[in-house]
Structure 1
Amino acid sequence: MDKRLIEAVELFEDVMVFGTERVLKNVTAEVWQEYSREQLQVLKILYKNGPLAAGTLAELQHVHKSAISGRLKKLEEKKLVEIVKSPDDQRSKLIKLTDHGTKVVKKSDQAVYDYIETLFADQVNDQELEQFVTMFKKIRAILKLEGPKHEADTEI
């Protein structure tokens, strides 16, 4: 295997592990204190993908359906999500983000963006940022080809 690819994968893993840890430790926004990381991730998934079945959420978070059930119950109690009938099959139920849930996602995102902007301010120039965005769009498109929705997900 190409040594550069091995190095790229190892660097990606390091960024994911250490980046996530650093963000979790240093983002002090109220929304990050009020909701768990897993709950915020559910909200973010719904924000990006629209209403989804609970089973799909479990798959995307790599957890058992019972773990999602607990998260969804808490999020529903807090009026961040609601259960709606599927437009395709009235017997199926989907989890939908509420307006309040959307506001929470936006607050969470803003807190992360503010932290990353401060962290990167004197470290990453515009050209490097553009290269980063271009490369991650390409990686996202490649990885999404393996996902459940092919056509809509391959847009860059």
Structure 2
Amino acid sequence: MDDRIKEAVDLFQEVMFYGTEKVIKGVDNPLWKEYSPEQLQMLKLIGKEGKTTSSRLAVLQSVHKSAISSRIKKLLQKEVIRIVQEDQKDRREKFIELTDKGKEIFMKSDKAVNEYIENLLARNIEDEEIEQFLSFFRKLRHIIKMDGVE
């Protein structure tokens, strides 16, 4: 593997791991006291997907289905998600979607994270660098989707 690609992958992973930790510790919002970071991430994933299955959430969050089941149970109790059946014939296939309350929580949490990151980066990142970042990640998203990963 090209050493530059290896370094890029390593840097990306470091930013994802340590950046996530910094954001979790840095965001001061009441939602982050009521919901765990994993629950908020799950709400974001469901919000982005529209509706999804517990199996898909387990893959996206890289955890066992039992962890997803626990999170789903807690979020159902808080009335931020609901279970829906698309196909009345196949009762095994159940989808999870956000309730109106869940959509509101997702939007508020997303706003808090975006504001925190914007404040963190605003004084350190130039406009040209932001454009390069966007260009690169749009291209990367396209490549990943072209390989059938969604």
TM-score when normalising by structure 1: 0.88
Partner of 2:64 in structure 1? 64
Q: 2:5 aligns to what?
A: 5
Percent identity between the two aligned chains: 50
Question: Structure 1 43/137 Cα, relative in aligned 2: closer, same or farther at 3 Å?
Answer: same
Q: Deviations over 1:8-35 (max 9, x none)?
A: 1111112112211111111111111110
1: CA distance, partners of 2:148 / 2:41:
18
Report Cα offsets for 1:87-124 as digits up to 9, x if no partner. 48551211111111111111111111111111111111
Residue-pair matches, total = 149
The separation in 1 between residues aligned to 2:61 and 2:18, in whole angstroms, is 19
Q: Which amino acid aligns with 1:48?
A: K
After TM superposition, give the deviation of residue 86 of structure 1 in Å.
1.6
Where in structure 2 are the equivalents of 1:1-156 lying within 5 Å? Answer: 1-87=1-87, 90-91=90-91, 92-147=93-148, 149=150
Q: Deviations over 1:102-155 (max 9, x none)?
A: 111111111111111111111111111111111111112222344555xxxxxx
Q: What's the secondary structure of 1:21's corresponding residue?
A: helix
Q: Normalised by the size of structure 2, how large is the TM-score? A: 0.91
Letter in 2 for 1:107: K
Q: Which structure 2 segments of 5+ residues have no match?
A: none
Distance 1:56 1:62 in 2: 10
SS in 2 for 1:82: strand
Q: What are the superposed Cα offsets for residues 49-69 of structure 1, whole Å, 9 maximum, x if unpaired?
A: 111111221122122211111
